[in-house]
């Protein structure tokens, strides 16, 4: 009987995350991901002809991100056109799902080498710009199944905060800590190994001579007082989400990230560095109205299937789509209040949330944290539109 195949991570890279309308706004998203893919291939030393597939996440697949942006990026990078590529949409978890697909393909024997990646330019393909036309994405049948309810994410975050007893002060405190941790990690050089610097381009795509080397959204000057002064993000009806503000929500961002996934035996035969292995993966669905709640049931499912405990995780990434969601997760799984392992390098509130790239960005940062601290297991989950969540455990390898 053949030995079981293991899916391993060879390398992981990402761009700095740019603000919407910021330093990366002059980049076509196809070229931004192409820049990242080229860096991954160059850093790993892999012959790109050997890649079996490229699977990538992108949420707003319209306009410049339409027509299979992942394939377009691979071609734009000048990489072998004999290598296929496809685009995945599991909303904010799109590139975490791409990681799962790549790893599952390796374990099944369909791939020996695959790339999981993601890209999003929220500047050039604004969020929800793919939701127009006809009756829109939510059909009469969908609305009937949801009792006619369709809520904004701001309102949902407020409802879940109330359900889990999370108040405004706690959300603002988490936001402030996110910025503090991100700034501290940046200043210590903690992100340097994962970041691929990106030349800044002007609106016409010409390089300006500047280079973006660090995440653009970290607010070093913020304070609890400044955060407390912010009004509701639901500006059209603040009563819907009085405690949910721009300060305790993730930033709209531009960015790309990529991971080389391999069969362990293939990586060893090629002399590739093996940094981690995929230990467990799952995905779960929950309430399609309260669309941000699924990280908790996804985590429960993974723990039940693996027999693991949250105590086994040396680092944890729960995407800070909203402070309320990270705190919702922590209220169930870190009830002692010690959140030192949760988003230890800051999260999307500080670093930004380029939707389709965030799953791989989180994995890249999680791996860096494990390597910096000597940790063994890392856990990642994130809420996803439609009421879904992925959950992943990796094991750092010496």
Please choose, from the candidates 27, 11, 36, 201, the residue with its C-alpha nearest in 3D space to the C-alpha of residue 118: 36
In percent, the amount of the chain with pLDDT more than 70 equals 100
Indicate the average pLDDT of the chain: 98
What DSSP element (H or E) covers 185?
helix 168-187
Res. 191: pLDDT tops 90: yes
Whether 117 is catalytic is: no
pLDDT for the residue 1: 63
- Give 171-183 as a DSSP string: HHHHHHHHHHHHH
* pLDDT, tens digit (0-9, with 9 covering 90-100), for 218-266: 999 999 999 999 999 999 999 999 999 999 999 999 999 999 999 999 9
Half-sphere exposure (CA, 13 Å, Cβ side) for 379? 26
Predicted confidence at residue 3, as pLDDT, reads 79
Q: Which of 28, 35, 58, 92 is catalytic?
A: 92
For residue range 316-368, list pLDDT tens digits in order: 999 999 999 999 999 999 999 999 999 999 999 999 999 999 999 999 999 99
Known catalytic residue: 92? yes
The predicted model gives 10-15 an average pLDDT of 98
Extended beta strands in the chain, E state: 7-14, 18-19, 53-57, 85-88, 113-121, 198-201, 207-212, 253-263, 276-285, 315-318, 377-384, 388-396
- At 212, list the tokens: 């973006």
Catalytic hit among 28, 35, 179, 353: 353
Residue with tokens 């394939």: 71
pLDDT in tens, 51-65: 999 999 999 999 999
Residues 349, 218: Cα–Cα separation, whole Å: 8
Q: Dihedral through CA 284, CA 129, CA 67, CA 52, nearest 10?
A: -30
158-168: pLDDT as tens digits: 999 999 999 99
Which residue is listed with tokens 């991570």?
A: 9
- Percentage of the residues of the chain whose pLDDT score is greater than 90: 99
- The pLDDT tens digits of the residues spanning 362-377 come to 999 999 999 999 999 9
pLDDT digits (tens, 9 = 90+) for 202-217: 999 999 999 999 999 9
- Band (pLDDT 50/70/90 cuts) for residue 398 is confident
Q: Which of 58, 117, 318, 383 is catalytic?
A: 383
CA distances from 225 to 165, 180, 230, 234 (A): 22, 15, 9, 20
Q: Is the pLDDT of residue 131 over 80?
A: yes
Can you give the three-state secondary structure of 27-59, one letter per residue? CCHHHHHHHHHHHHHHHHCCCHHHCCEEEEECC
């Amino acid at each position: 009987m053949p030995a079981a195949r293991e899916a391993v991570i060879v390398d992981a890279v990402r761009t700095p995350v740019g603000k919407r309308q910021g330093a990366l706004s002059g980049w076509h998203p196809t070229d931004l991901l192409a820049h990242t893919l080229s860096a991954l291939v160059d850093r790993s030393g892999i012959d790109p002809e050997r890649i079996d597939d490229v699977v990538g996440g992108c949420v707003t697949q319209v306009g410049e991100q339409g027509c299979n942006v992942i394939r377009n990026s691979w071609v734009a990078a000048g990489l072998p056109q004999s290598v296929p590529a496809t685009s995945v949409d599991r909303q904010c978890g799109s590139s975490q799902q791409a990681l799962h697909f790549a790893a599952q393909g390796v374990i099944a024997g369909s791939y020996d080498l695959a790339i999981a990646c993601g890209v999003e330019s929220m500047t050039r393909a604004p969020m929800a710009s793919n939701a127009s036309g006809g009756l829109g994405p939510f059909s009469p049948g969908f609305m009937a199944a949801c009792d006619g309810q369709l809520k904004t994410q701001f309102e949902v975050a407020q409802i879940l905060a109330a359900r889990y007893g999370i108040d405004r002060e706690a959300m603002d405190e988490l936001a402030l800590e996110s910025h503090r941790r991100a700034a501290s990690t940046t200043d210590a050089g903690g992100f340097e190994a994962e970041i691929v610097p990106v030349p800044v381009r002007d609106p016409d795509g010409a390089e300006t001579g500047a280079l973006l080397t660090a995440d653009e959204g970290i607010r070093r000057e913020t304070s609890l007082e400044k955060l407390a002064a912010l009004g509701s993000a639901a500006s059209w009806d603040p009563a819907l989400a009085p405690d949910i503000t721009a300060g305790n929500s993730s930033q709209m961002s531009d960015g790309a990230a990529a991971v080389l996934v391999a069969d362990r035996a293939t990586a060893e035969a090629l002399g590739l560095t093996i940094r981690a292995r995929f230990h467990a993966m799952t995905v779960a669905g929950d309430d399609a109205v309260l669309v941000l709640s699924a990280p908790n049931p996804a985590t429960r499912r993974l723990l039940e299937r693996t027999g693991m405990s949250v105590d086994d995780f040396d680092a944890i990434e729960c995407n800070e789509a909203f402070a309320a969601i990270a705190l919702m997760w922590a209220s169930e799984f870190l009830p002692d209040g010690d959140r030192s392992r949760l988003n230890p390098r800051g999260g999307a509130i500080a670093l930004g949330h380029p939707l389709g790239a965030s799953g791989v960005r989180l994995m890249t940062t999680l791996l860096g944290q494990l390597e910096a601290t000597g940790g063994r297991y890392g856990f990642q989950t994130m809420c996803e539109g439609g009421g879904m969540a992925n959950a992943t455990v990796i094991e750092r390898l010496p």
